[in-house]
Structure formats: structure tokens, C-alpha cells
Amino acid sequence: MNKKVVIGMSGGVDSSVAAYLLKQQGYDVIGVTMQVWQEDEEYEAVEGGCCSLSAVEDARRVAYKLDIPFYVMNFKDIFKKNVIDYFIDEYMQGRTPNPCVACNKFIKFDALLKKAMELGADYVATGHYAVVEKHDNRYILRKSEDDKKDQTYALYNLTQFQLEHTLMPCGVYKKERIREIAKEIGLLVHNKKDSEEICFIPDNDHGGYIKKQVPSKVKPGNFVDKEGNVLGRHKGIVYYTIGQRKGLGIAFGVPMYVTDINPLRNEVVLGSENDIFKTELIAKDINFIPFDSLQGTMEIQAKVRYSAKPSRAWITALDNGRVKVEFENKQRAITKGQSVVFYNNDLLLGGGVIDEIL
């Protein structure tokens, strides 16, 4: 009897081709789109969002073409609690969240995996660009064949159990080849553009989204310098993130950057570009993949945002499961709430959430 796999289908080219590849490999494939949108007519009508109604129809057409069963499953409540509410709360606390990391941790590889197992499936699958391998009785994650599309940064939270029951067939291909395969098998999504915005904020205005959700909590305050001198007024701390220069709504004659956000005083601290380069941080909520925990100090490569190149660094175990990260060279705009992710060349070691900048 063939092994059964539930694949999360977003209506995009990656998950569509992933479903095809799994079927070619002999799996019994079931397509599932996770309903996470929150009764927002403007969003439900939007083109291209990975969770929108148009995405559901694209996924349904692909499933029909591939002759696999297809279901839409309701994950609205768990998505709101673990992704949307978390996203809003982090910005209100002066941090910059990473909703894709949260979605992978709580939705795709937890809630969807549990639902898949209830259906009698052996695996859950996605269109992520990463490679799952088994090595010395332990599951590991390696960077994908396509370095530009590699998504391991957002997958560092995966546990051994989750990796044992996860398939990512796109990881051994380059994106161009995935599009070619889609075209060869007649999928209309072969040239569909990649979704790059936050899936529940299609216009990319995260500040405006939060203001709409919690209007009474987003209040104007002061821009200040590092000595506390008032420089002007801001429209609410949720509109800003560390390293931001554009969109401050005020001109200073010289470039000014957001260097800190103080939620207690409702202040946004501005300074020069030099002020946003740092070398040390402390991270919490740590997860390691090739081993259970860090002992002492280890030399690694790390990056503090999805688009960054990994840089040489050292991680040292602290109390309460935290780690200190010391970079060899200064990193631009290390940001509380974002993830710092650790590598050994193409091997994903793990990561955590940036909690303090030293």
C-alpha cells in the first residue's frame, strides 16, 4: 500500500509542482488548502495572496488536473491566535515579528500535521525550498539546491518528530526548473508570480493593518535622539522597525534611522547609520536540529534576517535555554522579535528569537 501524504497547497507554483512530484514518486497524495483568512472581503477578493479565495481556486484546479483529492480545511482560529494576534502584540511591544516563522511552527508543521495524521497520512508536505535528510538516526535540514530561494531560515523550529513526517520535494530543484515542470505538465500557475507580502496583509501596510485591528492602542508619540531630546512626532510605534530610514514622515536634513523603539514611553529613537550596526545579541526560544542542546561555545555562521548572507559568529549557551551570539563583523539593524538562524555551511543548525541587542 502506498504511503499517504497531505500536501499544503497555496495555489502557487511550488506547492503545485510538489504535489505532482510526490504523485510521480508513488505517494497517495491529498491536497489541502488551509483556510486562514478572517472574513475580510477586500482580502478574500485579492489576487495572489497565498491564503486568499483566488488561491483556493488555483489550488483546486491544480488538484483536479493532477487527479488528487482536494479539501479546504478551516484553520482560522488557530491562525488568528498564533500568527495574527502574535504579530500585532509584537509590534505593540516595540518588536518586529516574523509571521512566516510562526506560521511554520504552529500551523503548517503542527496543526496541519496533526490533521494529516487524523486522516491516516504518513506525512505532511509543502513546497518549501529545503532538503530533509536522515543522518546517523537523526533528521536534519539542509539548504535547498536554489540558494536564492532557500527557505531554511523560516524552518529552524522543526522538531525531530515533525521532520520525520515532513516531505519537501522542491528542495532538490532550482526555481526555474520547478516553473519548467509546471509548464510541461500544463499547469496554468507555471508563471504565477511569487507571493512576497505578508499573506494576511496584501497591501504590505502592516502599520495600517494593526491600526485597523486595534485602533485605540496605536497612538502618536515622540521621535527622540539617544539623549532623549524630542525631534518630532511619529504616528505610532507599530509603523516603524529598526534600521528604517524611509517613511518617517519628517525631514532632518541628514539621513536618520530608527535605532530603538521604547513601547513604555511610546518613543521611536532616531540616530545615524552607524548606530544601527551591532555585533552581539541574546536569543531565546532556541531550537537545535542536529543535536538537542548547545554545550559551551560553538563557531557557526548566522544570519539575522531572511535576506542576509550568513556571517561568521560564535554562540554560547546561557541559562534558561538562551544563547549569546557574537558576530565577527558588525551586522546591520539587528532587530528584537526577528529570528537569528545558525548554519554550518549548508546544514541548518537551528535558531531562536532575538531578545536583546548588546
The set of residues, in sequence order, having a beta carbon less than 8 Å from that of 319 and lying 6+ positions away, is none
The set of residues, in sequence order, having a beta carbon less than 8 Å from that of 17 and lying 6+ positions away, is 127, 170, 178, 181, 182, 187
Closest CA to 173 of 145, 147, 194: 145
CA quadruple 298, 304, 309, 311: dihedral sign = negative
Strand boundaries in the chain, DSSP class E: 4-8, 28-35, 70-74, 123-125, 130-135, 138-143, 166-167, 221-224, 230-234, 257-262, 267-271, 277-288, 297-303, 311-317, 323-332, 339-344, 347-357
Question: Can 100 be counted among the known catalytic residues?
Answer: no
Q: What is the DSSP string of 49-103?
A: -TTSHHHHHHHHHHHHHHT--EEEEE-HHHHIIIIIHHHHHHHHTT----HHHHH
Question: Can 199 be counted among the known catalytic residues?
Answer: yes
The set of residues, in sequence order, having a beta carbon less than 8 Å from that of 107 and lying 6+ positions away, is 34, 36, 75, 78, 79, 82, 83
By the 8 A CB rule, do 315 and 327 touch? no
Active-site entry in 50, 51, 170, 199: 199
Distances (CA, A) of 162 to 34, 138, 167, 214, 314: 18, 12, 10, 35, 27
* 123-125 and 166-167 beta bridge pairing: parallel
DSSP 30: E
Active-site entry in 51, 100, 103, 170: 103
Q: Residues marked as binding for ATP?
A: 8-15, 34, 127
Active-site residues, by number, are: 103, 199
